[in-house]
Amino acid sequence: MTGVARGLDEVTRAPSVVTIGNFDGVHRGHQVLLRRTVDAALSRGVRSVAITFDPHPAAVLRPGNGPRTLASLEERIDLLQAAGIDLVVVLPFTRELSQLTPEGFVERVLVERLQAVRVVVGTNFRFGHRAAGDVVALLEAGESHGYDVEAVAVRDLDDAPISSSAIRAALEDGQVAWATRALGRPYRLDGEVVRGDGRGRSIGVPTANLAVPADRVVPANGVYVGHAEVGDRRWRCVTNVGVRPTFDAGELVTVETHLLDVDDPDLYGERLTVTFEHRLRGERRFDSVDELVTQIRRDVAAARELRDAR
């Protein structure tokens, strides 16, 4: 049985194996921590707990400069639960919380509420006011409070460390294949389908226009192959991210998805999820609409070839 506690007041006191992090994207590095946490909890006959923060600490400590996110809070919770975590604790990150000393954080969060018997973190873990606490401080506090600590090394991919910031940078550079490997699944965006200007339909390539939350990472401008989902319906799709330079549409970045083998989907108002699995090309300006349509047809053909090759 999995559960969610939105704040310490909702946590029932009980022995726990705890892991701590923002867990944005719940990538493969996070997944190692989660497996170690679940395994340690099972071997001890206690619950496994993942502590995450909302909003992102940087958004509170540096207003206006917080990173864009790889997953919404609800997606993050779902991914943590899917990893086998018994209890997800969402700590509202406030100025007050940021002022806690490392010892104060240990006593208030890990000891008083969670009754930690083991804490699993990355070797680069920092906590407490001004990030003054590290793994050594966590170990020393554990000796006083009766928990032990497992520090897990950061996982690498192609000689680069897997981190949420590295995945954000890869997506913003259009490297969706690397992001897929680092996440352990294709990157996803979801949002409501909204009405656009109807140009796709007018040129014979109808698209669903996705309203993407402003705080989400959007891949670099370009054309991508992936899948689109609405409820239990799923289609192969070609997605354009960009400013539609052929139409001089301005600087507003849009996410438009063409569903393969669907004549004219009526998805307005539906919640649509789009995955980014392969980048076909960058966005470019064409001299005419006819040239654009010809290229779109090539993009669709390439998407079919990728589908058929799998």
DSSP string, 245-293: GGGT--S--EEEEEETT-SS---TT-EEEEEE-EEEEE----SSHHHHH
Q: 256 catalytic, yes or no?
A: yes
- Are residues 279 and 224 in contact, defined by beta-carbon separation less than 8 angstroms? yes
Token reading at 214: 């402003």
Would you call 11 exposed, middle or buried from its count of C-beta atoms within 10 A (0-12, 13-18, 19+)? Answer: buried
The residue annotated as part of the active site, out of 74, 112, 192, 256, is 256
Cα distance between residue 79 and residue 187, in whole Å: 13
Q: Give catalytic residues, as residue numbers.
A: 256
